Structure 1
């Protein structure tokens, strides 16, 4: 009688002959580096494994490197520990799961089953695993929209890398955040307070398997809401293309009849609602313009006074005012005409003064010529200067350098006023140095004029 223990084997053997050993698994599977992959698998015949003996399953890489097993007597290779996971084989499940795929995991894999020491079978069908470069980018979850001055929380994660508790090297790069040291985390949460200047800037989340691997990243553009700031008023005049920019409340003189355009500009996100008012705006005041531009085609007395630009925004409003003061054309022209006449008057007055001066000089010359005595021989008639010729000799007892002309006039003429004249001696021979020094102190002689 056949032992009862052998019946299952015989039955199983006959079953194997009928159905054979079969492995149902994909022949090729591809996964990106660093991601998780699950490969469904089932093996037959299932009825062979109802024995009370322990059933063990094995997955080998390249037929020699054990990467996964439920046999406690076997040890998998170090690089595969904790990354390759097996399903429960009691119901014929040979599924294989791999997390944190690496380039070294590429290759062919074979499956083996054992039932104690009696049944051992290697399935000929193979599994080919392809590991490719990482192309999938991390995901960034951020609240929309961001608001200036209010803290925000941004989360970055890499799909498929952390289903089994894996960690990656996360870092953030952008103008809105300070530099930080990358950290090994299953995912990263960034907390920061956005500012108006952060609007429109880029924020990047980078993920690496380690410091030596290539980083994958995703970049988002920040949308930050903020109230109006830097409110300005631009002013353009007729035939003038340039603008005058005002950032504070001020006064501006405008010529009567001038055409003026006022432009209000506010920096905000979203754009503020701009409008113009006469005087200070109030809730019940109706704007004179509901756009950023205010046209004043012809400035007159009605346009004098205060104009205000109001920038309305859900996060706050801002106002800027401008005072227009009218300059009359008559006043302006009255200032120009006297200025022109004044320039011509100065030139005419200067010409008149020169004519009078010339007339006085001529008249004085004539009077002087009428009161002079006749010129004698040898005398120079210019300015009463007496010139002596070298032929004349001084009288005895008189020094040669001083000549008194008192003897030539009547005694009554001695009472007249004394005049001085410069005496020049022409044709005289040079004397020695002592004589020249003696005569240098007597350059003038007393002369009394007489009238005939």
Structure 2
């Protein structure tokens, strides 16, 4: 009788609240902008009805939990849940049980009592029943997990204070995998520096039955198989390519995420850098490889090496390479240093000076096209229009 009165009162209060909101809506008239504004306050009411339902529970025993939850196959979900028993939510050494049946023997899927055999290893009662928390998690969701589940409370100190909240059922439904995986730790990539990257399910879900494989746009086919975490050494050849993680569950449904690779490199002065000196002039070239491309400056002991101090300096970049050419017919420095710098660092190197009038770098008879590729290696016979990455130097 008490239950019937309690339930009836809740229904009446709900009807009154809905009627009052309808009157406010009606009194606003036909102006659609007002209705749009007042559409928002109705949201919490609808949410409250969805949360609690209009159910008849024994006075003093209540539970708040989502009546229906959808989860993608292979992923996980956390279902918040709170309850009271005998008007209290504080207990000592109590037991919480999630079950798919309402009568004994209960088909228990999760419990905080480790001595109880659980039917589903991927269901976990992570809430603490001693503080009225019945939160349930489901990991590695499967089609066979679909169905309705109930919470049951048992006070071990008082066997009479046990209750199954049969008025409120949480129904689990399964959908196909559609969420993309998450690629972690793919931030700054440095040329030649080992990097470990992880691909994981969204929402920090444990990847129990999920499988992963990797693809890289500059490598045909599958790059790495059956590994959620991989370690590789990025090179400049990987810059502006992409990396893809494919995630699939046991039924074969697959989703993927693709991210661009940006590989950075500290400046490196190439061994082709040199100076030629004859009786009337000195000619120098400094070649540096870097990403972003480096800027190059020159220095010498006791001499200010600038265009205003008797030197001609011209620099150009192509791809990852920069070449700076220095020439002077009025200055004859004893040594020359080339400094290349970018956002990742700088490097200085003394450039060797070779003498002899017949070895001048600027004479057309000795000039030869040398192509410096992305790895800093010389290649003859390249045409400049065929070059994508690299730079020419004339010797």
TM-score, normalized by length of structure 2? 0.49
TM-score (norm 1): 0.44
Larger-Rg structure: 1
Higher relative contact order, structure no. (Cα contacts within 8 Å, ≥ 6 residues apart): 2
